[in-house]
Amino acid sequence: MQPSVAPAGAVDIDDLMAEFEAVPATAKAIAKGRQWVAKSFYKGSNTLAALRLQRGWSQVELSRQVGTSQSYIGRLETGGIDPQLSTVRKIALALGVPVADLVESLSPSGLELQP
């Protein structure tokens, strides 16, 4: 596979979201959009992504709340890393969920793409 390079002028969705979230009116619509994604695509799921989306947060926002990087949150959501307990505690505190619930949520199997 060739290395992927976005074509000139291409816009990264994360950059566009940051643009929308800089304006209060559109930031509210984005947060509601994420909650809709949680409800529609992660129905009954308690994965980290679902918990984050239920709050209307981006990975960037969760990483800011926890004091880590977006890429770290991304890898956590896809099961790419095994976090330290101290990190789990910070994330649970940020999301307002019990630590035990968050430990369970770090198994990324909850995407409900089929009814």
Applying CB under 8 A, the residues found at the interface with another protein are 1-7, 9-14, 16-17, 19-20, 25-26, 28-34, 36-37, 40-41, 49, 53, 58-59, 74-75, 77-80, 108, 111-115
Task: Please state the closest distance from residue 50 (CB atom) to another protein, in A.
Answer: 10
**Angstrom distances, CA of residue 8 to CA of 4, 5, 11, 20, 32:** 12, 9, 9, 21, 31
**Angstrom distances, CA of residue 114 to CA of 18, 68, 84, 108:** 31, 33, 33, 16
**Angstrom distances, CA of residue 44 to CA of 5, 40, 72:** 36, 10, 24
Q: Considering only CA atoms, which of 115, 102, 114, 13 is closest in space to residue 49?
A: 102
Task: Please state the closest distance from residue 74 (CB atom) to another protein, in A.
Answer: 6
Q: Based on CB atoms, which residue is closest to another protein, 1 or 98?
A: 1
Task: Please state the closest distance from residue 107 (CB atom) to another protein, in A.
Answer: 11
Task: Please state the closest distance from residue 99 (CB atom) to another protein, in A.
Answer: 22
Q: Based on CB atoms, which residue is closest to another protein, 28 or 93?
A: 28
